[in-house]
Amino acid sequence: MIAKTPEPPYYAVIFTSVLNEVHEGYDEMADEMVKLAETQPGFLGIESARSGLGISVSYWTDEVSIKNWKEQSRHQLAQKYGRENWYKSFMTRVAKVERDYGFGNT
């Protein structure tokens, strides 16, 4: 469940969100987007958790891959639905991972 990422540097997209109380169709689209992201060039892994606040961190080899994913047509539709129907608020942060360290079977 912890993403297996290569040696830094690589990129992280930290997506933090609060859903509206009614968010019909969100779970299905979220599952679809994870499956689609996994097929994109430069994708390294994704970690997600939600307990009130949702945090999803996807990892990418470089910024061009992130830009291409943001502009992918089906993903564009998901983003539009998200803004119009599902998210009360969100924040996306694009960050360059400079170092990492772990413990256990990560």
Chain residues that interact with a copy of itself, rule: CB under 8 A: 1-3, 5, 8, 12, 14, 16-18, 47-55, 57, 83, 87-106
Alpha carbon distances (Å) from 74 to 23, 63, 66, 90, 95? 18, 19, 15, 19, 24
Minimum Å distance from CB 89 to a copy of itself?
Answer: 3
Minimum Å distance from CB 78 to a copy of itself?
Answer: 14
Minimum Å distance from CB 24 to a copy of itself?
Answer: 18
In the complex with a copy of itself, which residue's Cβ is closer, 34 or 53? 53
**32 closest CA partner among 81, 92, 90, 65:** 81
Count of positions (residues) in the chain = 106
In the complex with a copy of itself, which residue's Cβ is closer, 28 or 98? 98
In the complex with a copy of itself, which residue's Cβ is closer, 36 or 94? 94
**16 closest CA partner among 60, 54, 58, 69:** 54
